[in-house]
Structure 1
């Protein structure tokens, strides 16, 4: 029997991401790398795991996997929206190429974790 890693990775990612978000809201000082980059790495596996769960449920196929092309498209979409468009219109967002790289790295991690199931 194969161990399912993706659900554990999902719950840990949501927990870590939530902790970082709450720490930022309460103005708790975090290391710069954690404050600026960790959630960018975690967000795509979180979103894609939710999408995978919904797709498996709606298709009735517990072995369905999201194709790499779709994953890369979603990573690119996040990069365009959050690193190109939103920084032009909202001061909370800043354009950062490293964030785009982290979106794609998170997508690659998700791709391999979903294949291990």
Structure 2
């Protein structure tokens, strides 16, 4: 039986992201890389997986995949919105090129995970 890696990745990402967010709120010291970058890497696969499941449900097509162009568009949107616009208007946000890079890397990870998930659906 083939595993649904995308679903596992989603739940692990939500759990890890929630743990990091909670630790930050409780002022627990975290390594800089964890504190500043892990959630930026996790967010796009989480958002895109939710979108994918809604699209598969609404289209009644269990093998539907989000096109690479849409994934790139979402990565650009997150980069511009969270790393360019919000830092100008809200002190909580800081512009960081590494975050933009992480958005794109995680978008690529999602692309391949969803393709794997789609191939599993076609086999069953």
If the TM-score is normalised by the length of the shorter chain, which range does it land in?
A: over 0.9
* Structure 1 gap ranges (5+): none
Q: Secondary structure at the match of 1:10?
A: helix
Cα-to-partner distance string for 1:40-89 (whole Å, 9 max, x where unaligned): 00000000000000000000000000001100000000000000000000
Aligned to 2:101: 101
* Aligned-partner Cα distance in 2 for 1:83–1:31: 21
Q: Are 2:43 and 1:43 equivalent residues in the alignment? A: yes
The question of 1:7 aligning with 2:11 is answered no
> What is the DSSP-based 3-state SS (H/G/I as helix, E as strand, rest coil) of the residue aligned with 1:110?
helix
How far did residue 24 of structure 1 move? 0.2
Unpaired stretches in structure 2, ≥5 consecutive residues: 118-124
Q: Could you state the TM-score of these two structures normalised by the residue count of structure 2?
A: 0.93
Shift of 1:107: 0.4
SS at 1:64 equivalent? coil
Distance in 1 (alpha carbons) for counterparts of 2:77 and 2:57: 24
Normalising by the residue count of structure 1, what TM-score does the alignment of the two structures yield? 0.98
Equivalenced residues, count: 117
Q: 2:88 maps to what in 1?
A: 88
